[in-house]
Structure 1
Protein backbone atom coordinates (compact mmCIF):
# COMPACT_ATOMS: atom_id res chain seq x y z
CA UNK A 1 0.00 0.00 0.00
CA UNK A 2 1.44 3.38 -0.94
CA UNK A 3 1.17 6.40 1.30
CA UNK A 4 -0.60 9.57 0.14
CA UNK A 5 2.59 11.60 0.68
CA UNK A 6 6.26 10.67 0.42
CA UNK A 7 9.29 12.86 1.04
CA UNK A 8 11.30 13.49 -2.11
CA UNK A 9 15.02 13.03 -1.36
CA UNK A 10 15.88 14.86 -4.60
CA UNK A 11 14.36 18.16 -3.38
CA UNK A 12 16.91 20.87 -2.61
CA UNK A 13 17.05 23.27 0.34
CA UNK A 14 15.66 26.45 -1.24
CA UNK A 15 15.26 29.07 1.47
CA UNK A 16 15.44 29.42 5.22
CA UNK A 17 12.15 30.16 6.94
CA UNK A 18 12.61 32.72 9.68
CA UNK A 19 15.76 33.95 11.31
CA UNK A 20 18.99 32.00 11.44
CA UNK A 21 19.70 30.00 14.61
CA UNK A 22 22.66 32.30 15.28
CA UNK A 23 20.46 35.43 15.10
CA UNK A 24 18.02 33.85 17.57
CA UNK A 25 20.74 32.82 20.01
CA UNK A 26 19.95 29.11 19.50
CA UNK A 27 23.52 28.23 18.55
CA UNK A 28 27.10 29.37 18.97
CA UNK A 29 27.88 28.88 15.26
CA UNK A 30 28.58 25.21 15.86
CA UNK A 31 27.20 22.51 13.57
CA UNK A 32 24.29 21.71 15.92
CA UNK A 33 21.91 24.40 14.66
CA UNK A 34 18.12 23.99 14.77
CA UNK A 35 16.64 25.35 11.55
CA UNK A 36 13.60 25.36 9.23
CA UNK A 37 13.92 25.28 5.42
CA UNK A 38 11.55 25.30 2.49
CA UNK A 39 12.52 22.72 -0.13
CA UNK A 40 12.46 23.20 -3.88
CA UNK A 41 9.21 21.19 -4.08
CA UNK A 42 7.50 23.27 -1.37
CA UNK A 43 7.90 20.72 1.44
CA UNK A 44 9.53 21.78 4.71
CA UNK A 45 12.72 20.42 6.27
CA UNK A 46 13.20 20.80 10.03
CA UNK A 47 16.59 20.43 11.67
CA UNK A 48 16.34 19.76 15.39
CA UNK A 49 17.08 17.34 18.17
CA UNK A 50 15.89 13.78 17.55
CA UNK A 51 13.78 12.96 20.61
CA UNK A 52 11.89 10.07 19.05
CA UNK A 53 12.89 7.58 21.73
CA UNK A 54 12.06 10.00 24.56
CA UNK A 55 8.49 10.53 23.27
CA UNK A 56 7.72 7.18 21.63
CA UNK A 57 5.84 5.71 24.61
CA UNK A 58 4.02 8.95 25.47
CA UNK A 59 2.46 9.95 22.17
CA UNK A 60 -1.13 11.21 22.43
CA UNK A 61 -3.92 9.03 21.07
CA UNK A 62 -4.05 9.24 17.29
CA UNK A 63 -0.36 10.19 16.95
CA UNK A 64 2.07 7.62 15.59
CA UNK A 65 5.53 7.43 14.07
CA UNK A 66 6.46 5.16 11.19
CA UNK A 67 9.81 3.36 11.25
CA UNK A 68 11.17 5.95 8.81
CA UNK A 69 9.95 8.98 10.82
CA UNK A 70 11.51 10.89 13.71
CA UNK A 71 10.07 13.29 16.26
CA UNK A 72 12.24 16.39 16.10
CA UNK A 73 12.19 19.24 18.62
CA UNK A 74 13.17 22.81 17.76
CA UNK A 75 13.17 25.96 19.91
CA UNK A 76 9.87 27.83 20.06
CA UNK A 77 11.50 31.05 18.88
CA UNK A 78 12.73 29.25 15.73
CA UNK A 79 9.18 28.44 14.62
CA UNK A 80 7.80 31.83 15.64
CA UNK A 81 10.45 33.59 13.56
CA UNK A 82 9.45 31.44 10.55
CA UNK A 83 5.79 32.49 10.75
CA UNK A 84 6.37 35.54 8.55
CA UNK A 85 7.74 33.31 5.76
CA UNK A 86 4.94 30.71 5.83
CA UNK A 87 2.07 31.45 3.45
CA UNK A 88 -1.55 31.22 4.61
CA UNK A 89 -2.49 28.85 1.78
Structure 2
Protein backbone atom coordinates (compact mmCIF):
# COMPACT_ATOMS: atom_id res chain seq x y z
CA UNK A 1 0.00 0.00 0.00
CA UNK A 2 1.37 3.42 -0.94
CA UNK A 3 0.81 6.42 1.30
CA UNK A 4 0.75 10.07 0.16
CA UNK A 5 3.95 10.57 2.15
CA UNK A 6 6.68 8.04 2.78
CA UNK A 7 9.80 8.48 4.88
CA UNK A 8 12.94 8.33 2.75
CA UNK A 9 15.48 5.98 4.35
CA UNK A 10 18.20 7.49 2.14
CA UNK A 11 17.72 11.03 3.50
CA UNK A 12 20.71 12.33 5.47
CA UNK A 13 20.69 14.12 8.83
CA UNK A 14 22.03 17.61 8.11
CA UNK A 15 21.51 19.73 11.22
CA UNK A 16 20.16 19.69 14.72
CA UNK A 17 17.15 21.92 15.29
CA UNK A 18 17.31 23.73 18.59
CA UNK A 19 19.73 22.95 21.37
CA UNK A 20 21.39 19.62 22.10
CA UNK A 21 19.95 17.38 24.82
CA UNK A 22 23.03 18.17 26.93
CA UNK A 23 22.37 21.93 26.62
CA UNK A 24 18.72 21.44 27.64
CA UNK A 25 19.58 19.13 30.53
CA UNK A 26 17.32 16.34 29.30
CA UNK A 27 19.94 13.58 29.14
CA UNK A 28 20.90 12.94 32.72
CA UNK A 29 24.42 14.16 32.01
CA UNK A 30 25.07 12.32 28.75
CA UNK A 31 24.34 13.35 25.19
CA UNK A 32 21.50 11.41 23.59
CA UNK A 33 17.72 11.42 23.46
CA UNK A 34 15.61 13.50 23.00
CA UNK A 35 16.62 15.34 19.86
CA UNK A 36 15.20 16.84 16.65
CA UNK A 37 17.07 16.92 13.33
CA UNK A 38 16.41 18.24 9.84
CA UNK A 39 17.05 15.86 6.93
CA UNK A 40 18.49 16.89 3.57
CA UNK A 41 15.05 16.46 1.97
CA UNK A 42 13.41 18.85 4.46
CA UNK A 43 11.78 16.15 6.58
CA UNK A 44 12.29 16.11 10.35
CA UNK A 45 13.67 13.26 12.46
CA UNK A 46 12.60 13.09 16.11
CA UNK A 47 14.41 11.01 18.72
CA UNK A 48 12.39 10.38 21.85
CA UNK A 49 10.93 7.71 24.08
CA UNK A 50 8.76 5.13 22.33
CA UNK A 51 5.46 5.12 24.23
CA UNK A 52 3.32 3.55 21.51
CA UNK A 53 2.14 0.68 23.68
CA UNK A 54 1.40 2.92 26.68
CA UNK A 55 -0.87 5.21 24.63
CA UNK A 56 -2.40 2.67 22.22
CA UNK A 57 -5.56 1.92 24.22
CA UNK A 58 -6.41 5.58 24.87
CA UNK A 59 -5.87 7.17 21.45
CA UNK A 60 -8.46 9.69 20.25
CA UNK A 61 -10.68 8.30 17.49
CA UNK A 62 -8.98 10.37 14.78
CA UNK A 63 -5.42 9.40 15.81
CA UNK A 64 -4.17 6.23 14.16
CA UNK A 65 -0.70 4.77 14.57
CA UNK A 66 -0.15 2.90 11.32
CA UNK A 67 2.01 -0.09 10.58
CA UNK A 68 5.64 0.95 10.79
CA UNK A 69 4.81 4.01 12.93
CA UNK A 70 5.55 4.69 16.58
CA UNK A 71 4.29 7.33 19.01
CA UNK A 72 7.38 9.13 20.31
CA UNK A 73 7.32 11.50 23.26
CA UNK A 74 9.79 14.36 23.74
CA UNK A 75 9.93 17.01 26.47
CA UNK A 76 8.19 20.32 25.79
CA UNK A 77 11.50 22.17 26.22
CA UNK A 78 12.97 20.19 23.29
CA UNK A 79 10.20 21.27 20.92
CA UNK A 80 10.25 24.89 22.11
CA UNK A 81 14.00 25.04 21.54
CA UNK A 82 13.57 24.43 17.79
CA UNK A 83 11.31 27.47 17.23
CA UNK A 84 14.19 29.76 16.24
CA UNK A 85 15.36 27.24 13.62
CA UNK A 86 11.99 26.90 11.87
CA UNK A 87 10.94 29.15 8.98
CA UNK A 88 7.78 31.21 9.33
CA UNK A 89 6.27 29.73 6.20
Aligned to 1:82: 82
Q: CA deviation at 1:29?
A: 1.2
Aligned to 1:13: 13
Q: CA deviation at 1:16?
A: 0.4
The separation in 1 between residues aligned to 2:86 and 2:60, in whole angstroms, is 26
Structure showing the higher helix proportion among its residues: 1
- Is 1:29 the counterpart of 2:30? The answer is yes
Equivalent residue runs for 1:19-58 within 5 Å: 19-27=19-27, 28-30=29-31, 32-58=32-58
> Which secondary structure state, in structure 2, belongs to the residue aligned with residue 65 of structure 1?
coil
Q: Which runs of 5+ in 2 are unaligned?
A: none
Q: Which runs of 5+ in 1 are unaligned?
A: none
How high is the TM-score relative to the length of structure 2? 0.94
- Is 1:68 the counterpart of 2:68? The answer is yes
> Which secondary structure state, in structure 2, belongs to the residue aligned with residue 58 of structure 1?
coil
Give the paired residue count. Answer: 88
The separation in 1 between residues aligned to 2:87 and 2:69, in whole angstroms, is 25
**Structure 1 residue runs of 4+, over 4 Å off?**
none
